[in-house]
Amino acid sequence: MQTLYIGAGYVGSCSAAVMAKFGHNAVVYDVNKERIGVFNTFNRDLIEASFFEQDLSSLIIQNKQRMVFLDDYSQFSNYFDSADVIFICVPTPLKDDDVGDYDLSYFEAALSELSAALTKRNGGAQEKYVVVAVKSTVPIETQERVARDFEKAGVKNFGVVSNPEFLVEGQAIKDSFSPDRVVVGASQEKDFSVMRELYQRFYNAPGVGYIEVNPREAAAGKLLSNYVLLSRLVTTFNVIGRTSEVIPGIQFEKLRKIITTDKRIGSYGFYNNIYAGGSCLTKDSSALAHQIESASGNTDQIRNILGGNLFHFDNFVERISKDAKFSIKGKTLAVFGLSFKRDTNDIRNSGAADMVARLIEGGAAQLRVYDPVANEMFKRHFGDKYGDKVYYCESEQEALQGSAGCLILTDWPQFSTLDQLILKVCPAPYLVVDGRRMISQSYNKLQDAGYDVVAVGSPFLKGKS
């Protein structure tokens, strides 16, 4: 089938690459000329430097005969005559009003341009049926409005479906080959039929939930799924983690084992962190609350979870001064991790990036930062905002040089042996701040050697002299 993608970000590029692997043709358009230029190199190193997602670059290179990347809309629209499905994958960030209202400017611009172009397909006859599938996360009633707007613009012979993505950054390609579920929200059987043909690999496949619902249910299901995931994380931080921090004789990992062996509860989300970040969970939970409030519904539970996430971050920052009696003013600190999680260079809504800002605001002399893949993304996003206050390092050892303390903020597996390097490079007294419990197996050893330890899910450990 001929699939088209508007938006070459995380969702669009991963989805297109997987469709090409499945034998479909994938044409991807984005206004970002630099991004399209990188994809068109079909060079693994260049793609990964710009857009780090495990196996994405390899998949694009392997299937380049079925993939086209364009930044010229007139060229892109040439493919409309034969298009079966056009996916909209543009970003829909929240507005800066802290309410939860989506900024739909990119989405509206894409729709306006698309509707005008669709009326011209097949020489204006619009003979070929086309399905417009919305992957962008949007308000629940959006698909119905898109269909009405298309009709007003004179678009004919089309359908609009909601086809939300449930990908996990860092394993999006893997999840796309073996998804838990594929959700299609449509209003007519013809659209379901087109999407079944597209997803034939998963329709009635064992182990995959192929779910057909109406468009509102599909859109709401995406928002609610992300809220449930966020609530699990925040509950872990603020209840299980806090219990481990304030009641002596309790180890977080042992509590986790007790709880997660209950099959009714499951294992997701039972790890500690300084903040539940990323581009989806908090954004979609805020948007869900806003839409329920707009319909006069009560959202105390959702707002409490969102507030609990912020509280946990603030509480952790305060522990550095309150528990460890450590002043960051004038200090040089090592920071390990900038991305919001391992296996990605995405720094959107990253707790690590927020911590960098908080430390500089608090008067840190310099932050020596190291992330295996996110240094360049951080530089690109923040530019010269922090000047020489942030120094980018090429290794863990370089970051530790001359530091009075270190903070572990991203769960890269290689950071699990940092305790050995700290003992070697940084003599006590020294502050170790572990926001991911990456070196929890060595807290007592560090304490015995004279190091102060502040860690999520543990009481403050004062170094022994």
pLDDT of residue 416: 97
What token pair was written down for 363?
């008067």
Does 277 count as an annotated binding residue?
A: yes
Does 293 count as an annotated binding residue?
A: no
Q: E strand or H helix at 171, and its extent?
A: none
Contacts of 15 (CB under 8 A, 6+ apart): 5, 87, 89, 135, 165, 176
d(CA 361, CA 390): 12
Q: E strand or H helix at 63, and its extent?
A: none
The CATH number of 2-213 is 3.40.50.720
Whole-angstrom Cα Rg for the chain: 24
Ranges of H-type helices in 295-432: 300-322, 351-361, 375-382, 396-400, 418-425
Does 283 count as an annotated binding residue?
A: yes
- pTM (2 decimals)? 0.93
Are the beta carbons of 377 and 342 closer than 8 angstroms? no
Strand-pairing partners, residue 344, are 53
Q: How many DSSP H helices and E strands does the chain contain?
A: 19, 14
Does 35 count as an annotated binding residue?
A: yes
- List, by residue number, the catalytic residues: 280
Write out the chain's pLDDT in tens, 465 residues: 999 999 999 899 999 999 999 999 999 999 999 999 999 999 999 998 888 888 999 999 999 999 999 999 999 999 999 999 999 999 999 998 767 899 999 999 999 999 999 999 999 999 999 999 999 999 999 999 999 999 999 999 999 999 999 988 888 898 888 899 999 999 999 999 999 999 999 998 888 999 999 999 999 999 999 999 999 999 999 999 999 999 999 999 999 999 999 999 999 989 889 999 888 999 999 999 999 999 999 999 999 999 999 999 999 999 999 999 999 999 999 999 999 999 999 998 899 999 999 999 999 999 999 999 999 999 999 988 999 999 999 999 999 999 999 999 999 999 999 999 999 999 999 999 999 999 999 999 999 999 999 999 999 999 998
Does 257 count as an annotated binding residue?
A: no
Supply the DSSP string of 226-286, one letter for each residue: HHHHHHHHHHIIIIIIHHHHHSTT--HHHHHHHHHTSTTT-STT-S--S---SSSHHHHHH
Alpha carbon 157 to chain centroid, angstroms: 35
What is the three-class DSSP state of 61? helix
pLDDT of residue 283: 94
pLDDT of residue 52: 84
Domain boundaries, given as residue ranges, for the chain: 2-213, 225-465
Supply the DSSP string of 96-118, one letter for each residue: TTSS--B--HHHHHHHHHHHHHH
Does 166 count as an annotated binding residue?
A: yes
Are the beta carbons of 169 and 278 closer than 8 angstroms? yes
d(CA 272, CA 253): 10
d(CA 36, CA 412): 29
| CATH topology classification for 225-465 | Rossmann fold (3.40.50)
What token pair was written down for 236?
């872990």
188-211 as b/e, with b when 16 or more CB fall inside 10 Å?
eeebbebbbebbeebeeeeebebe
Q: Do 225-465 and 2-213 have the same topology in CATH?
A: yes
Does 453 count as an annotated binding residue?
A: no
pLDDT of residue 364: 97
Does 445 count as an annotated binding residue?
A: no
Which phi-psi region, left, alpha or beta, contains residue 423 (left: φ > 0; alpha: ψ -120 to 50)? alpha
pLDDT of residue 172: 86
Does 11 count as an annotated binding residue?
A: no
Output the CA torsion sign for 383, 385, 389, 390: negative
